A and B are shown apart, each in its own frame.
Chain A
């Protein structure tokens, strides 16, 4: 198993180097060069020259690349053009919010998706199945921002069950230790703050989790259907094992391989879905920050974000591979 992990981490290095080269070239290929991206296309030659000097854009490409890599390795991703703060600091303060939201979306998607998919597969072609298929279809076609608007309109404004926006009611005097608000509430035993943070996560979590939910339902259903008809399940039935044992040890366990892959892929996608959800709910995570960065062509932020996502994706993939090892012992041997 350790070997598998080591190999995966080793593979990450060439991926990141390749990506860093692409990003480096991207910024240099912006129309008019990076100075114009900073200043707009009406920049005076003087100002362009000043920027080129200040950022070293007038040095040889290779030298620029190594300076850029060197800075990145030391954690210097530049300064956001929108906020004038270090990119890394901006991510660090906003990432806990997005991670919290992602976790809630995943709990929602997995917690409902797997049981619903299983339920559909065990009632194939009956109303339960049709219902699940319809629900998952609905989940896939409805745009995230539209769903977010609708959820907010119904459950925060018309029926005020949930808060409309933000991460926490500003009137609650909460202590922040980790910037994960729910965790902070628990650590400091400020239960009302923790509860309030949870309530702020539910609507955006549902909006964000709907697409992964729909996909998990479909994959689980298909996978369970396939495994149900496998020879070893028939054998198990013939041996007279109890249905519960068959379900848990044979069907679900084997059906989970493709599902866990899907969950891994969807987790990465959640971050991009967060751009819309966080905007609708005025949620201060990296999603909303990224939206502003795109609008303002804040390229240090975009650059940092892409690298960050690449690392995150690789980590998630690694976790998926490790989970394979637990679900299917054959993987451990390979």
Chain B
């Protein structure tokens, strides 16, 4: 054997890159040709919709999920008894036609839609409803871990084998289309909570066939069931086709869907973890849209003809204060911090368009919102005065923790928010020592499970319209995050949560919000509006403050 090089081979090799460049002209046109799919719903538009996800879903079984990417996919495949009124955070009937609650808030009679089928052809009926409720209630071992069944654990509190604190008691199929759910304790947020994808109705047949309850591994690293990895079956407008981890998830239109089918025949969720790469993919036309657009990109994308959709803010960004730090234990110091922050400037300089200023820890549309709270309007002189009164006329130094390498719906650019607030605090004499931590795996751990932090940035996106889902989550019990213990406040929050009547709840929550604003356990900063960006052909997108966005309602023009 010998190696031979002819002159021709040499020159052609040298032309390799050039040749590839020239030939590449063809691919663009080819791409365009192949993309016109054989959509049966509406042949005038390209019925394949490509959306960039920032990561893989954690689980295809929504009962085992709590992350946004899992829920985005769940919302296409599954539906719950309760849905959300389009464009709002308020619950409305979905698979249930209606419901009635008993006077004491302990039993709920659901009247179900008839003629609805799961994607595997089995019928959706009262028995399926009870099957799902009983499944959650009978979760065992790892299924009960917060890392697996987070929402059931945190909202329904107990299981069949530990019924002491359980909120759920039983479910009975009184007829084919009527289910009666009995609670063990009143839970005013029950109906609203059912609008969470975690409580979506799943096909009993598929759950059994693909062993949905077989979760192995450890709580820290659970290995999910076959069902959760590749066989989700619901009643939603799209059905699951395939999942190539790290790459894409494919769904296709459910031909037997009972509701509006829409224009889209096929959805591809592409996993693109880099925010810049998502923007570039949209610009290059390989995707039709993506979520959590960086505030610095919105204007340039708009100028380039892309459609930017801002969600109605259902978020809260706050500056947390850790009272185990000596200086921060002093109420005057906390008030000084609140007065030192110019929220308007912060919003203008670092947060997306549509962001609203926060005066308390719930958005305006949530029950119990009141203007009657201590507002701490920007007043640096007052801040200095309070600091002097507290014994710090020359200020003091405090640790300021903030996350890096992350973009959250309530905080697209943490580093910018940190810089902005630091400068404002230094104006009144509070010097900060910067404590940057990587979001994963360090930041949350440090803030929520250790005392080793000072003031810090964090926030929340509401899951459903319930006050407890905001204020209760933050201040309902003693937490290392804030380092204070206020039995009176904890008790009031418990009491409000268990109040079965919404009207009776309102004054309770108003009082709580007032009390919280006086205690300053944290400074509410803003309700940032998360934005999505879409290709020109996307005429409208059903944006929802609680991300309840079904792709069958997307309107395309070509």
Contact = CB atoms under 8 A, between A and B. Distances in A.
B246 A160 contact: no
Given A108-B16, A199-B24, A253-B3, A192 B34 contact: yes
A236 B270 CA distance: 60
Contact of A248 (B5, B35, B281, B283): B5
Contact of B286 (A55, A93, A169): A169
Contacts of A60: none
A66 interface: no
A101 to B, nearest CB: 14
A126 interface: no
B504 interface: no
Contacts of A165: 272, 277, 280-281, 284, 286
Interface in B248-300: 248, 268, 270-274, 277, 280-281, 283-284, 286-287
A150 interface: no
Given A93-B245, A111-B16, A157 B277 contact: no
B2 A170 contact: no
A79 B24 contact: no
A111 B280 CA distance: 31
A88 B431 CA distance: 50
A83 B245 CA distance: 9
A239 interface: no
Interface string A245-265: 001110011001000000000
A174 to B, nearest CB: 9
Contact of A81 (B221, B268, B287): B221
B555 to A, nearest CB: 19
A328 B33 CA distance: 51
A284 B2 contact: no
A175 B24 CA distance: 22
A195 B248 contact: no
B25 interface: yes
B272 A202 contact: no
A50 B222 CA distance: 13
Interface string A108-132: 1001101110110000000000000
Interface string A268-306: 000000000001111010001100000111000000000
Main SS of the interface on chain A?
helix
B14 A112 contact: yes
Interface residues of B, number: 63
Interface string A122-160: 000000000000000000000000000000100111001
Contacts of B31: 169, 171-172, 196
B16 A157 contact: no
B115 interface: no
A90 B245 contact: yes
A284 B17 CA distance: 24
A103 interface: no
Interface stretch (A9-17, A37-45, A312-320): A37-45
Nearest to B1: A326
Contacts of B247: 166-167, 284
Given A167-B247, A248-B2, A161 B21 contact: yes
B40 interface: no
Contact of A196 (B27, B268, B273): B27
B102 interface: no
Given A163-B284, A170-B270, A284-B246, A38 B5 contact: no
A202 B396 CA distance: 56
Contact of B34 (A119, A171, A199): A171
Contacts of A169: 31, 34-35, 286
Interface in B8-41: 9-10, 13-14, 16-17, 20-21, 24-28, 30-31, 33-35, 37
Interface string B438-470: 101110011001100000000000000000000
A170 B220 contact: no
Contacts of A94: 246
A202 to B, nearest CB: 5
A272 B271 CA distance: 22
A306 B27 CA distance: 37
Contacts of A38: 220-221
A84 B224 contact: yes
Nearest to A119: B10
Nearest to A161: B24
B284 A112 contact: no
Interface of A: 38-40, 42, 47, 50-51, 54-55, 79, 81, 83-85, 90, 93-94, 107-108, 111-112, 114-116, 118-119, 152, 155-157, 160-167, 169-173, 192, 195-196, 199, 202, 206, 247-249, 252-253, 256, 279-282, 284, 288-289, 295-297, 326-327
27 contacts: A40-B442, A42-B449, A84-B217, A84-B222, A93-B245, A111-B16, A112-B16, A116-B14, A156-B280, A157-B284, A160-B28, A164-B277, A165-B280, A166-B270, A166-B286, A169-B34, A169-B35, A170-B248, A171-B50, A195-B26, A196-B27, A196-B31, A247-B5, A253-B3, A284-B244, A289-B246, A327-B3
5 nearest A-B residue pairs (beta carbon): A171-B35, A164-B284, A170-B268, A161-B24, A284-B247
